[in-house]
Amino acid sequence: MNLYKILTTFMLSVVVSFFVPNIYASEQILVEGGVFEMGSHYCEEEQNNSDWCNDETPHKVQVDSFWVDKFEVTNTEYRQCFVAGVCEPEVLHEDRPGDFNKGNQPVVFATWKEASIYCNWRKGRLPTEAEWEYAAKVEKLGGAHWNQPYAVGSPVSVGSFEPNSHGLHDMMGNVYEWTMDWYGSYSKKEKQKNPLGPEKGKDKVVRGGSWDSLGHFLRISDRVAKDPDFRYSGVGFRCVKPNL
């Protein structure tokens, strides 16, 4: 697809976003703080500590209460940040832009920095790994959009499936979600409070699985390292705010 068609498609999507109401509007839900076991015994018990999952060592973590987006950030919401002059324009899929630019689909192809800028614009930030897992590790996990063929699949509108026990949609599947943390081994401290992950690193952690994920990646404790400067068709984000 040539540059003219890409720019035309993007500008039309921006115009449409002002005329199609966004029913989600950055709604947030309060997650009450507490102590939980972060990580999983899955790799040890079912995968013989395979390299792809041996970074999930179980450990006790305490997190403070926080507000978290009920839905993944949508294209419509992100475009509002662009129109405000804060965010960069969203990047469209080169071959299938129409499959990824619908107003209530989660925004993808945003780098970690761009996702952070958006959340800061809303007076929030990306969740830590611990916050994300705490919000997702509940009795009812909620519905998920996953296992779609990469060549033809795409995210669905946020909120298309039932929420988890906290009332959060798409914590599993649809798109992976950026977290604040650098990827690295968990701290060996016996009990941690509001951990922030390593001080520096090469990759950032994404959580939750995506529209093209296989079943063994669709687990609450699964950790995936992604280059923060790259753009991915299966990575989006949601924002959090402290409960002040």
**Model pTM score:** 0.88
Using CA atoms, how far apart are residues 84 and 8, in angstroms rounded to an integer? 20
Burial (CB count <10 Å: 0-12, 13-18, 19+), residue 206: buried
| Sheet strands (E) in 7-131 | 28-31, 34-38, 59-63, 66-69
**Rounded CA separation 92/3 (Å):** 11
pLDDT tens for 191-216 read 899 999 999 999 999 999 999 999 88
CATH of the domain at 108: 3.90.1580.10
Q: Which domain holds residue 26?
A: 3-242
**pLDDT (tens digit, 0 to 9) for every residue of the chain, 244 residues total?**
444 444 444 444 444 344 333 434 569 999 999 999 999 988 888 888 888 888 999 999 999 999 999 999 999 999 999 999 999 998 988 889 999 999 999 999 999 999 999 999 999 999 999 999 999 999 999 999 999 999 999 999 999 999 999 999 999 999 999 999 999 999 888 789 999 999 999 999 999 999 999 988 899 999 999 999 999 999 999 999 999 8
Distance linking the first and last C-alpha atoms of the chain: 47
Give the pLDDT confidence of 148-196 residue by residue, as tens digits. Answer: 999 999 999 999 999 999 999 999 999 999 999 999 999 888 789 999 9
Q: Are the C-beta atoms of residues 125 and 116 closer than 8 Å to each other?
A: yes
The DSSP code for 12 is: H
Number of structural domains found in the chain: 1
Cα separations (Å) of 82 from 31, 114, 145?
29, 11, 28
